Amino acid sequence: APTSGANANKVLIPSGHTLDASSGSVNASGGLTTPSGHVIQVVTGTKSSSLQTNSTSLVDTGLSVTITPQFNTSKIFISVSNLGISNNTQYVIHKLLRGSTVISTDAAYNNNSYWMPVNFAMSILDSPATISATTYKTQIRLSNASGDLRYNYFGDGTGTNATITAMEIKQ
């Protein structure tokens, strides 16, 4: 590295060459490149209040996260963790959406006339193919309108700090 002049204290890398930087490399324009398979960023959304519904139409739960991928080839790993209780619901349908597109669905069953716990947990590896801000959210609905669902509900009536985490993984 030159010690004087316009390039003082700079490491110059000729065009077409890279500098090995252990877990990544620095390209000739000075940008750090991350190897494939590494997590680039992690973003988490939380919801601390509960939601009660008996709707047979999809309802937003209020749990969402927005991530802006750095590369349009990145995969986004989404993890949702939440609890609730249901009563005489038959099926509780839980959906994960990217924008308005459903990317995962799961269901829980309770045809009993007493309260039972429901685990609203899911994980998926998504390929949004964009570098634009992307929002992931959850929705729920019941198959039986006479049922009752308390989403993100703890036994004393408070929320349980539901989380949704988005991790960008370089490809």
pLDDT tens-place string over residues 123-150? 999 999 999 999 999 999 999 888 999 9
Mean pLDDT computed over 85-92: 90
Residue 171: name the closest of 26, 34, 37, 33 by CA.
37
| Structure letter (DSSP) for residue 35 | P
CA distance 92 to 108: 5
CA distance 88 to 143: 10
- Contact (CB, 8 A) for 166 and 69: no
Range scoring the smallest mean pLDDT among 7-21, 39-53, 76-90, 135-149: 7-21
Token reading at 20: 């090995």
pTM summary value: 0.79
